[in-house]
Amino acid sequence: MRTFSHCADSKCKHEGTKDTKANLFKRPVPLSGAGINKCFFVFFVFFVFAFILGLVADVRLDTWLDVACLFKTRSEAQKACKLGKIRVNGAAAKPHRDVKVGDELEINRPMGRKQLVTVLGLADSHISKAEARLLYEDRSPKPTAEEIEIRRMERIYRAAATPPTRPDRDMRRTLRRLKRGD
């Protein structure tokens, strides 16, 4: 059993009482005759305002990245966090870190690109993409013409370097001969 010490009011009648089933209903302090426990009312009002202001809502970083459609899946976001590709307010972030409104995220994308994002809202369940875009502000600088050209050339090179289909029987035999040196 524990004793109550949560009330700042020195006249609170349940200060120091034991927390038992019998005492749960014996300790209400009426609030202007309404029969509402004064401490319960204060805590309830505090939590309602805290929830409205966003002080209580905790959302994991990997969940938020998935919901905000910055990664396709939560597991991809989790992997990116574990590999150190995501920084929150300049510090490396783990997937279980809580995200707050106003946090600044730096996401390292492939080919050296960096995406700078400011958190504007929180959500822990999937929403439409239009609503998801409202959860953050993308502050990434626009790519220069040179960067766009480099990306285009890389795409062309990757397309030419990868074979269009699986090698057929004749191609496999030719490749085997080349490897053996025949």
Question: For 123-161, how does the pLDDT look when each residue is reduced to its tens digit (9 = 90+)?
Answer: 888 899 999 999 999 999 998 999 899 989 988 988 888
**What is the tens place of the pLDDT at every residue in 9-46?**
455 554 455 545 444 444 444 445 455 556 555 555 55
Q: What is the spatial distance between Cα 16 and Cα 3, in angstroms, rounded to a whole number?
A: 5
Q: Per-domain residue ranges for the chain?
A: 1-56, 59-141, 147-180
Which fold is adopted by the domain 59-141?
3.10.290
Q: What is the pTM of this model?
A: 0.57
CA distance 140 to 118: 10
Would you say 50 and 56 are in contact if contact means Cβ atoms under 8 Å apart? yes
d(CA 69, CA 128): 9
Match 């480099």 to its residue by tokens. Answer: 150
